[in-house]
């Protein structure tokens, strides 16, 4: 980042931080005068209430609803509601779950013996283009932020690849989003946040104030020890040449394409976001090789053309789309593989292994998938980059992920078993998992204990939880390995 831009960012952050501190002081004083239950009247729903179960289920995107039932659900509309809710949970001895967008595969926000704080009604998007900062509520969906950034400011943020994903959990779980190799992960672009602590106090956290909270918010996911109510995000200029190239290959060419991709990936520039996805298309097993390109010049586009031309089976594609001008991220690219109302199980493995170790495992998983719609995904994460000091701490040369897709509850057991077979098969070559695809509880139930944080980050999280949340109101559904 240029020095001028850095000064603008710092100056803007200081002004926004001052406003946040003033707001926190005012709201904390107001909240101390009120009885939490009285203050939350009309916004809190207990398990005995008729509206409780529809609200609980609506807060979980996956049709596989967890058999976990909070004592009550609060539909918060502002920070004061969150303060009251946390203080109520503390007084009752309950745990706290936080729902921003509800796209957690496991519904980790839905917990027994807890108070669920649903942030969906807290809506804020304020863009400060000169400072390149967007101030948002965690419930903000990817599509809404990037539509505003694109149409009014020609800016972007590395949001989720599914446009309906809320940014609260996405960013806090790492944020492996659009163009992340060029602009950084979502959590790297979290400059500050406002949050309610386990003591029920509203505070502002940045690099200079309450920095432990910022460190944890950058990647600790569902283990975070507070309720984030506002994010301060660094946003970026949109690339000048955004193009999408897709090739669809028959099953006979899956291995040659994967082997070429693995051999070529060290030449990939940061603005090429390639991945391969194997599934059924129109009744036939296929491999989709998709190449979102976030280029700044025509020369960048030519460089991608030259890389793709080295694929020896490119001419065997049964369908293709080359350099379609697109808006990425947009509000129209939702993943057609994730059926509305579908029942999903997802997991994944970061690995530094090469083709000889990945491809046999990839094909075993693909050939044994429980439904035709289920798929296996492989994304190169190159050129290699060193992550800054933050909770998010596990990556690799590649990320490989299985997702089971079904609409029938009768498929649930074999869908779960299939993803667990994948985890066991990849265990010898895996660096760990990805909290954006958190399947921690199911892994523990199947005896597949695996890391989602590095050993150092996990140890620091354990220490911070003990310091800032000694009563255990927050934390993971099950301790991370």
List, as one string, the DSSP characters of 326-348.
--SS-SS---TTS-TT-EEEE--
- Cβ pair 196, 84 in contact under 8 A: no
State the pLDDT at residue 120. Answer: 96
Q: What is the DSSP string of 302-317?
A: HHHHHHHTT-TTGGG-
Give the pLDDT confidence score for residue 426 in this predicted structure.
Answer: 98
Q: Domain 241-455 belongs to what topology?
A: Vanillyl-alcohol Oxidase; Chain A, domain 3 (3.40.462)
Residue 372 CA to residue 369 CA, distance in Å, equals 7
What are 342's two structure tokens? 């579908």
* CA dist list (Å): 3 to 6, 8, 169, 184, 321: 5, 9, 31, 18, 40
What region does 87 belong to: left with phi over 0, alpha with psi -120 to 50, or beta?
alpha
Could you tell me if 329 and 381 are in contact, meaning their C-beta atoms sit under 8 angstroms apart? no
pLDDT of residue 328: 84
Task: Tell me if residue 121 falls in helix, strand or coil.
Answer: coil
How far apart, in Å, are the Cα atoms of 112 and each of 10, 68, 195, 325?
Answer: 41, 5, 23, 47
Are 332 and 346 spatial neighbours (Cβ–Cβ below 8 Å)? Answer: no
- Please check whether residue 366 is in contact with residue 278, taking contact to mean a CB–CB distance below 8 angstroms: yes
Distances (CA, A) of 102 to 8, 138, 352: 34, 11, 31
Block means of pLDDT (10 residues each) for the chain, 481 residues, are: 34 56 56 80 96 96 96 98 98 97 92 97 97 98 95 96 92 96 98 98 98 99 98 98 97 99 98 97 97 97 98 98 89 57 94 99 99 98 92 98 97 98 98 94 89 96 97 85 58
Q: Name the 3-class secondary structure at 10.
A: helix
Q: What is the pLDDT of residue 32?
A: 61
Per-residue confidence (pLDDT) for residue 403, from 0 to 100:
97
pTM of the full structure: 0.93
Q: How high is the pLDDT of residue 44? A: 98
Q: Residues 149, 143: contact at Cβ < 8 Å?
A: no
Distance CA 305, CA 315 (A): 14
pLDDT at 2: 31
């Amino acid at each position: 980042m240029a020095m001028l831009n850095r000064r603008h960012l710092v100056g803007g952050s200081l002004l926004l931080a001052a406003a946040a501190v003033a707001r926190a002081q005012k709201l904390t004083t107001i909240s101390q005068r009120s009885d939490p239950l009285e203050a939350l009247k009309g916004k809190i729903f207990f398990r005995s209430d008729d509206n409780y179960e529809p609200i609980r289920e609506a807060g979980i995107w996956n049709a596989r609803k967890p058999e976990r039932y909070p004592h009550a659900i609060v539909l918060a509309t502002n920070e004061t509601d969150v303060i009251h809710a946390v203080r109520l949970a503390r007084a009752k001895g309950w745990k706290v779950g936080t729902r921003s967008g509800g796209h957690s595969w496991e519904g980790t926000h839905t917990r027994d013996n807890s108070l669920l704080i649903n942030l969906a009604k807290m809506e804020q998007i304020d863009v400060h283009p000169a400072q390149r900062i967007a101030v948002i509520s965690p419930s903000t969906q990817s599509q809404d932020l990037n539509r505003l950034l694109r149409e009014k400011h020609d800016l972007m943020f590395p949001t989720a690849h599914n446009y309906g994903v809320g940014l609260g959990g996405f960013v806090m779980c790492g944020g492996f989003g659009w163009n992340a190799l060029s602009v950084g992960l979502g959590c790297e672009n979290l400059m500050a946040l406002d949050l309610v602590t386990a003591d029920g106090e509203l505070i502002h956290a940045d690099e200079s104030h309450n920095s432990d909270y910022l460190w944890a918010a950058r990647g600790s996911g569902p283990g975070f020890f507070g309720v984030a109510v506002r994010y301060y995000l660094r946003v970026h200029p949109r690339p000048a040449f955004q193009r999408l190239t897709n090739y669809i290959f028959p099953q006979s060419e899956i291995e040659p394409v994967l082997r070429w991709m693995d051999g070529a990936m060290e030449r990939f520039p940061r603005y090429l976001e390639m991945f391969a996805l194997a599934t059924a298309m129109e009744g036939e097993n296929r491999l989709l090789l998709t190449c979102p390109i976030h280029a700044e010049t025509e020369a960048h586009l030519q460089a991608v053309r030259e890389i793709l031309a080295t694929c020896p089976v490119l001419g065997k594609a049964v369908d293709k789309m080359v350099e379609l001008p697109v808006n990425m991220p947009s509000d129209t690219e939702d993943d057609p593989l994730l059926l509305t109302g579908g029942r999903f199980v997802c997991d994944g493995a970061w690995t530094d292994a090469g083709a000889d170790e990945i491809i046999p495992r990839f094909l075993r998983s693909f050939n044994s998938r429980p439904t035709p719609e289920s798929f296996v995904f492989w994304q190169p994460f190159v050129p290699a980059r060193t992550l800054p000091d933050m909770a998010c701490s596990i990556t690799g040369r590649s990320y490989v992920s299985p997702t089971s897709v079904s609409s029938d509850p009768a498929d649930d057991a074999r869908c779960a078993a299939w993803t667990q077979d994948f985890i066991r098969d990849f265990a010898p070559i895996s660096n760990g998992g990805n909290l954006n695809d958190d399947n921690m509880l199911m892994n523990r139930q199947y005896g597949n204990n695996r890391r989602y944080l590095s050993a150092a980050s996990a140890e620091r999280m354990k220490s911070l939880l003990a310091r800032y949340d000694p009563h255990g109101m927050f934390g993971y559904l099950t301790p991370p390995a």
